[in-house]
């Protein structure tokens, strides 16, 4: 995959990355893909899978941040911007 295409994929939302991944899997399952393209799609699919996993992990961490302090009416959750690169 070219660096430009890889960069474009890193900007995808979870839903867009999952849609691309599903399209790749569908094409691979069709059996009509030449071996060289099959290998390239497999590699692209692996990268999209990692991106989806990262997006899910980031969402889970944001939910954890939102849940902190919830349940106490005198201490509502503190909403803060989520930084996925910040150490927990």
Topology of domain 3-67, CATH = Helix Hairpins (1.10.287)
Asked if pLDDT for residue 83 goes beyond 90, the answer is no
The predicted model scores a pTM of 0.68
Q: Which residues of 29-63 are buried (b: 16+ CB within 10 A; e: fewer)?
A: eeeebeeeeeeebeebbebbeebbeebeeeeeeee
Q: Where are the domains of the chain?
A: 3-67
Asked if pLDDT for residue 4 goes beyond 90, the answer is no
Please tell me which residue, 3 or 48, carries the higher pLDDT value: 48
pLDDT at 26: 95
Asked if pLDDT for residue 88 goes beyond 60, the answer is no
What pLDDT digit, counting tens, does each position of 19-65 carry? 999 999 999 999 899 999 999 999 999 999 999 999 999 999 888 87
pLDDT at 76: 64
């Amino acid at each position: 995959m070219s660096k430009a295409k890889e960069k474009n994929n890193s900007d995808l939302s979870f839903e867009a990355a999952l849609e691309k991944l599903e399209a790749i899997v569908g094409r691979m399952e069709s059996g009509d893909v030449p071996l060289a393209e099959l290998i390239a799609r497999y590699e692209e699919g692996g990268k999209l899978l990692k991106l989806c996993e990262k997006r899910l992990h980031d969402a889970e961490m944001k939910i954890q941040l939102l849940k902190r302090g919830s349940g106490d009416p005198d201490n509502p959750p503190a909403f803060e911007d989520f930084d996925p690169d910040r150490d927990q």
